[in-house]
Amino acid sequence: MNRTKPILAVAISIAIAFFSSCSSTENDNGNGVSSSSDETLSSVSSSDGNLSSGGNSGGGNSCSGGNSSSSAGNSSGSNSSEASSSSNEETQPSVSSNDGSSSSRVSSSSSRISSSSSAAAAVSSSSATTSSSSSSSSAGTPTSASSVDSGTKFTPEMLALTPGATIAELNLAWYSGREGTKTAVRLFNASGTLVNTVTGTTGNATTGKSWHKAKLTNLTPSTQYKYSVSNDEQNWSHEYDYTTPPATGAWRFVAIADPQIAAATATSYTSWAEVAKKIKETENVTHVVCAGDQVDNMQGDEKEWEYFFAPGIFSNIPVAAIKGNHDPHWANIGKFEWHFNLPNERSASSTDYKSKYNYYYLYNNVLFVGLNTGSLFDTDQLSTYNTVVNLFKTVITEAKAAHAGKYDWLIVVHHESTKSVSAHAEDVEVRNYREAGLETVMSEQKVDVVIAGHDHTYARTHPINGVVYLTLKAASNLKFYPVKKSLITSNIAAHSKGIEITWNQENDYYQIGEKVIINSSDPEYTVIDVNGKTLNFDVCTWKSSGTKCGDTDKFTLTK
């Protein structure tokens, strides 16, 4: 495939690089899309010319460019586990695209491991969504020095770590058979000394299975731990490794979307296993954000969840999973909520799945808000979308208030992208989310980045009303949706404004800004390096011939 850029594109890319180095805050009205916003490459420069430079810089239309903003470098505030300095509310990001010829990932900074402390982990139960047994207080007696794996006498099924409310916490969930009715976690320091034992909650999952949830608290940043789990407080699992993220300084996370494991399609889970392996091999990944559709069968199929967890990555690296439209929630088989122990989950109702699975957490200097755009369908009325979007606004407002002054970046992750370029771009659900004001909420709440999926191909916007919208390609090769040419050539669909993408018919490739979108189902994952007021995004494509990063896209946001 010819991936040579046409001269015109190169010239325009230069213009883009220049303009995108400006912070961009368009006038904020209506649906969050100004009519003057970017539509295609050919209109980028003029439309960007209408953008004012960001936030409170007082710089009028001047571009401060690249890394000029007072990058916090390794600074970031206090030594608390929540760390960091200024709020993000006064500044909005500027974008610069890096030249991303294929490159292997370079591990950065912040060694994740430091000697463990003796900080006792407080005991606390998870806020499980439903059901039975309760919580708190130590289970058993934290004996002196139990340590090291004494052999596996209990094997949890589909063990999943989830970020805690802050890096001082860690949420766990797993399945077991119903032979045990308890939930317990033992936490050890790196040398194998028992730090604490906590209990959690359990309830009935898919027939013959129990779900278990527990929460560890008072964890020390940048510290290596081990843990084991039990469903009877007698027989314990293998000891798994877990390292807490750094509270300050440079750090890293990975974003994916739509693994959409289909039990009947082997390549979905074999390709996902390869992607998961690559993520696991990437150094210093604190956690993985997954923007929904972990599995395929909406009616529920535990086999698909087994495949999703099979690579074992999430027993060491937490996953912040988002509820997608494919993740099952109504039938009593393989429900999303049984597999993930979400931090600060907020729901308008404990029983209405349409309002559940919204949550937030603070890692280092980034405040993450996860929203459930995956539970409404085209049969729902617009009024229901309005209700849900209002709930989203409430959740974001609460998250910001809870961590005011402690974060530099506000990132929202949800499933149904409103700024995508393919099959789902004009679906009723997506249009309804736009009409209900989802994008307006993003801009009014001063969200920096929205990470979404659902459309199975990659797209990135310039900042639109201060928000960069990122749509991720799938993390398995189950589905790939080619870019919808009508959206590119017509340029009339409001949603496409702000997406710098063109289709080069002659050479048969798709191009976003300076980057080439290869028309293939090769799965992707995105590595995000955070360093104070700089976010570096590097999109990596897994191929059987070797993983490449930077080909699809590579860009930097600065404040």
Q: Least distance (Å) from Fe ion to the CB of residue 472? A: 11
User: Which parts of this chain interact with Fe ion (CB under 5 A)?
Assistant: 293, 324-325, 454
- As a whole number of angstroms, the distance between CA 457 and CA 473 comes to 4
Residue placing its CB nearer to Fe ion in the complex, 324 or 463: 324
Q: Which is nearer to Fe ion, 250 or 255 (CB)?
A: 255
Return the number of the residue (180 or 374) whose C-beta is nearest Fe ion.
374
Find, among 483, 424, 427, 482, the residue nearest to 454 by Cα: 424
Q: How far apart are CA 278 and CA 243, in angstroms?
A: 18
CA distance 200 to 126: 6
Question: Crossing angle, helix 428-435 and helix 382-402, to 10 degrees?
Answer: 60
Shortest Cβ 453–Fe ion spacing (Å): 7
Query: Least distance (Å) from Fe ion to the CB of residue 372?
Result: 12
CB 307, min distance to Fe ion, A: 17
| Least distance from Fe ion to the Cβ atom of residue 424, Å | 7
Distances (CA, A) of 276 to 46, 100, 267, 412: 41, 22, 14, 22
CB of 324 to Fe ion, least distance (A): 5
Cβ closer to Fe ion: 475 or 530?
475
β-strand partners of 48: none
Between 189 and 271, name the residue whose CB sits nearer to Fe ion.
271
Question: Which residue, 180 or 324, has its beta carbon nearer to Fe ion?
Answer: 324
**Based on CB atoms, which residue is closest to Fe ion, 186 or 424?**
424
* In the complex, least distance from residue 222 CB atom to Fe ion, rounded to whole angstroms: 35
Q: What angle do CA 439, 443, 444 make, to 5 degrees?
A: 110
- Token pair listed for 436: 């209900």
DSSP state for residue 355 in the 8-state scheme? G
Number of alpha carbons in the 13 Å side-chain half-sphere of residue 7: 0
Q: 240-243 and 224-230 as β-strands: parallel, antiparallel, unpaired? A: antiparallel
Q: Go through the chain and tell me how many residues it has.
A: 559
Q: Which amino acid is at 165?
A: A
In the complex with Fe ion, which residue's Cβ is closer, 434 or 454?
454
Sign of the dihedral defined by the CA atoms of residues 20, 25, 26, 30, in that order:
positive
**Least distance between Fe ion and beta carbon 415 (Å):** 6
Q: Which residue is nearest to Fe ion (CB)?
A: 454
User: Residue 488 has which token pair?
Assistant: 């590119």
**Closer residue to Fe ion (CB): 272 or 363:** 272
Closest CB to Fe ion among residues 373, 552: 373
Cβ of residue 269: shortest distance to Fe ion, in angstroms?
17
Three-state SS string across 95-118, please? EEECCCCCECCCCCCCCCCCCCCC
* Distance in angstroms between the alpha carbons of the first and the last residue of the chain: 37
Q: Long-range contacts made by residues 351-354, C-beta under 8 angstroms, separation at least 24?
A: 353/329, 354/380, 354/384, 354/388
Cβ closer to Fe ion: 51 or 472?
472
3-state secondary structure string across 61-90: CCCCCCCCCCCCCCCCCCCCCCCCCCCCCC
Distance CA 285, CA 530 (A): 11
Min dist CB 546 to Fe ion, Å, is 28
Q: How remote is the C-alpha of 26 from its chain's centroid? A: 26
Residue 524 φ/ψ region, left for φ over 0, alpha for ψ in the -120 to 50 degree band, beta for the rest:
beta
Whole-number minimum distance, CB 455 to Fe ion, in Å? 8
Residue closer to Fe ion, measured from CB, 187 or 474: 474
Nearer to Fe ion, 291 or 487 (CB): 291
What is the Rg, in whole angstroms, of the alpha carbon atoms belonging to the chain? 23
Q: Cα dist. 29→48, 372, 447, 453, 499 in Å?
A: 17, 24, 15, 25, 18
Q: Shortest gap between Cβ of 293 and Fe ion (angstroms)?
A: 4
Distance CA 25, CA 57 (A): 11
Continuous segment of H or E residues that includes residue 305? helix 302-309
Min dist. Cβ of residue 327 to Fe ion (A): 9
CA distance 148 to 238: 9
